[in-house]
Amino acid sequence: MKQLSLDNLRTFVGVIERGGYAKAGEWLGRSQPAISLQIKKLEEQLGKKLFTKVGQRHMPSADGNWLYPKAKELLELNDSIFRSLDPTPLRGRLRLGIPNEFASTLLPGLIGEFSKRYPDVSLEVTSALSRELLSPTRRNDFDVILALANPAESTDGEIILEDEMVWVGDAAHPLSPRAISLVLAPDGCMYRSRVISQLKQQTRAWKISYTNADLSGLVAAIQQGLGITALAKSSMPASLTQVRHRFLPPLGAINVCLFMQATQHPVVCKTLADFITQRLRER
């Protein structure tokens, strides 16, 4: 018996409501290729073309417009079942600590899905460097922490993704052959430390042209041609591209970890952790 994937339907609805693959990816916390693959699987299963490309936009076809309200009904039924079967509807505040780059790329879709499942739970999000989130003075301020860890270091968190650290830039601004211009977060950032360590081992000139703790500020600087940066591949914004060049040294691996703290809401924390894990592994 054929069965539709609710996850693919949610992506389909997201593309229509957000106005395209890239914006749906930002909302759902997935890369644009992952969005394209989900739509392709849904189209293959239904045997129908759901979108047509008009200029740079993906517009729903006649079959897509027919499917849209039915997909919305299925998703609402799915969400209402989970809400109804929760033995004790939970209320209160859930505190999430997350690195800034993941907050920008992962949270928009995750918050929407989580809020539908637990409408009476307030999700309070704090973005900071992993080192700050895990510091002894701040760690107990959170119920769940998403943080980065070097593979060589021991950690008491659960490794949910063994990721690759990659160079990231804007395709409209090619690298200068004379010197590598860098756009980085301030001291204490794991990406910054790794980049500087690797560049010091080679002879090509480099400089830090811009520093900002906020990912949106780094993205804006990169799009203005101020330089390139480094990120975990799973946190790379859809608006930027991975940069590969013979004079850019490899940056190695990095672990993405979840830390579950003592909390009054262990079931909701586990659900939030599962949402985060699924989204990251799909990117």
Topology (CATH level 3) of domain 6-85:
Arc Repressor Mutant, subunit A (1.10.10)
Task: Tell me the mean pLDDT per 10 residues along the chain, length 283.
Answer: 84 85 77 87 90 81 90 84 67 84 78 77 88 89 90 84 93 85 92 93 90 91 94 88 90 91 73 80 70
- First-to-last alpha carbon distance for the chain, in angstroms, is 29
- Cα–chain center distance at 283: 7
- Residue 211 structure tokens: 């520093």
What pLDDT does 197 receive?
Answer: 92
Q: Looking up tokens 């042209």, which residue turns up? A: 209
Q: Which residue, among 82, 11, 81, has the nearest Cα to 50 in the 3D structure?
A: 11
Alpha helix (H) residue ranges in the chain: 6-18, 21-28, 32-46, 62-85, 100-117, 130-133, 190-199, 215-223, 266-282
Alpha-carbon distance of 35 to 270, in angstroms, equals 25
C-alpha to C-alpha distance for 174 and 177, rounded to whole angstroms? 9
For the record, the structure tokens of 247 come out as: 């004079």
Structure token pair of residue 187: 């001291």
CATH topology assigned to domain 91-283? D-Maltodextrin-Binding Protein; domain 2 (3.40.190)
In terms of Cα–Cα distance, which of 157, 137, 138 is closest to 149? Answer: 157
In single-letter form, the type of residue at position 240 comes to L
The amino acid that residue 36 corresponds to is S
pLDDT for residue 191 = 93
CA neighbor of 96 nearest in space, from 263, 234, 213, 278 = 263
Cβ contact 6:75 at 8 Å: yes
**pLDDT at position 251, please?**
94
Spatial CA neighbour of 119 closest among 91, 81, 161: 91
User: Domain segments of the chain: what residues?
Assistant: 6-85, 91-283
